[in-house]
Amino acid sequence: MKRPLRALAAAGLLAAASIVAVAVGGTASADTQICEQFGSTVIGGKYVVQNNRWGTTAQQCINATSTGFEITTLNGSSPTNGAPTAYPSIFVGCHYTNCSPGTNLPIQVSQISSAPSSINYRYVGGAIYNASYDIWLDPSPKRDGVNQMEIMIWLNRQGPIQPIGSPVGNANIAGRNWEVWRGNNGGNNVISYVASSAIPSLSFDVLHFINDTRNRGAITSSWYLTSIQAGFEPWQGGAGLAVTNFSQSVNIGEAPPTTPPPGTGACAVKYTANSWNNGFTADVQITNTGTATLNGWTLNYNLPGGQQITGSWNATVSQSGSAVTARNISHNGTLAPGGTASFGYQGTLSGTYSSPSSFTLNGMTCTRS
């Protein structure tokens, strides 16, 4: 979903006669070469592979396989302080009216119970590129045009390139620490999660990244997930880059219990509150019940209606609507197995007081202690 974000030259050019062009919506029964600028094909009866050469008029070709694709020809290049040449990718959902077969997208975030994903990349040297997921969301169930929110997950960054915007912190998701960037590219808002080193393969739940974006106040649960895409943004070089295997599902239905049985969580939270007519205070204690040390933590939860935080201590606490995000400060960010950290806050109260019912720490559901 890159092509309308910046002006394109000759977006409707036909491929040269010597180039194999695959029509949008075609089906690949064997390895299929795509050189048409916005050509695509279906693989596995479920996924769409697209060339998506939106940032250059130079030739680019990809080879769609039964499980992914490879960049075979890439003649264009772009300055590293600007936009990439393309986003060849594989996706589920809808990309400019091109919807993958049998997709249940767009669908509201509130209806998604999980979105398990798995990917294997093949990287090359001597090129400038990123390997990333593109996750698109919008307040409406859009099947055409640009969405308002783009989440990018950078699993590899090679060369002097950077995401849109500027760094705003870190997040621990899918068992890894990510540097978080936030900005706007002139067409939509972007939040990017950047790995500290190259990740050649990963299995994770896309919903955890969506939830983190929601907790940052960028979207709400009423927004729609429209597509999940995975591929490469090349700036210079990149022939040989490949997605060798990709799987993605979006499951709908009742979410699993937010509070697992005792002993199954990687964290425990003790929440102690004191309330009066129009105010309250809360003391929160976090315990690392896992086996690995946490180097930095973020606690997410929702306050019941009528509660508004006015001040905090021992943590950086922000609130957007009912969603609360509490992040460690310098002296309490390391939690060894069995270690604890405490923070608190005060707030105003309208109506009857009640405590939050569930918590997640770095994306993991916590037990209540």
Task: Supply the residues annotated as catalytic.
Answer: 150, 233
Whether residue 230 contacts residue 74, with contact meaning beta carbons closer than 8 Å, is answered with: no
Other CB atoms closer than 10 Å to residue 241's CB: what's the count? 25
Q: Return the amino acid letter for 337.
A: P
Whether residue 50 contacts residue 88, with contact meaning beta carbons closer than 8 Å, is answered with: yes
Helix (H/G/I), strand (E/B), else coil: 360: strand
CA distance 65 to 14: 23
CA distance 369 to 357: 12
| Residues paired with 312 in a beta bridge | 345
Q: 195: which residues sit within 8 A by CB, 6+ positions away? A: 154, 155, 156, 157, 176, 178
Q: Return the amino acid letter for 304.
A: P
Query: What is the separation of C-alpha 357 from the centre of its chain, rounded to a whole number of angstroms?
Result: 25
Q: For the chain, how are helix, strand and coil distributed in percent, rounded to 5?
A: 5, 50, 45
Strand pairing class (107-108; 224-236) = antiparallel
CA distance 181 to 170: 9
Q: In this structure, what DSSP letter does residue 145 have?
A: S
Half-sphere exposure of 99 (CA within 13 A, CB side): 12
CA distance 210 to 226: 12
Query: Helices in the chain by DSSP H: which ranges?
Result: 206-215
